[in-house]
Amino acid sequence: MALTRDFKQSIKARVAADPAYGTLLLAEAVELLLSGEMETGKSLLRDYINATVGFEALAAATGTPAKSLMRMFGPKGNPRADNLFGVISVLQKANGVNLAVGVAA
């Protein structure tokens, strides 16, 4: 299901007004990816990209065309691990976030 423009703009406005919300959105996306929830994780990561750096700036930073990035994080996308972790690395640097993986008992 495609997101409406109003919903995308709402997320962007919320992240701009509350950077902690953006950090939580990124963290949740990565957590979902790590737990195998690829579709939901990619969707949240796409929302986060749209709300923060945008696909054009992300393309410049990663050296991957914007259209390829959009496809990777689309419903049928299947990003390779090197692309996925490269994007997450750029997003962390661009937004001053440092995610860490921990062990849950």
pLDDT in tens, 21-60: 999 999 999 999 999 999 999 999 999 999 999 999 999 9
Query: In this structure, is residue 12 part of a structural domain?
Result: yes
**Token pair in block for residue 73:** 């994080």
pTM score: 0.87
What's the pLDDT at 57? 97
Query: In this structure, is residue 103 part of a structural domain?
Result: no
Query: In this prediction, what percent of the chain has a pLDDT beyond 70?
Result: 95
What's the pLDDT at 7? 76
What's the pLDDT at 6? 82
Note down the domain range covering 36: 5-95
Query: In this structure, is residue 37 part of a structural domain?
Result: yes
Total count of domains within the chain = 1
**Better pLDDT: 18 or 105:** 18
Query: In this structure, is residue 71 part of a structural domain?
Result: yes
Q: List the one residue out of 87, 97, 93, 43 whose CA is nearest residue 65.
A: 87
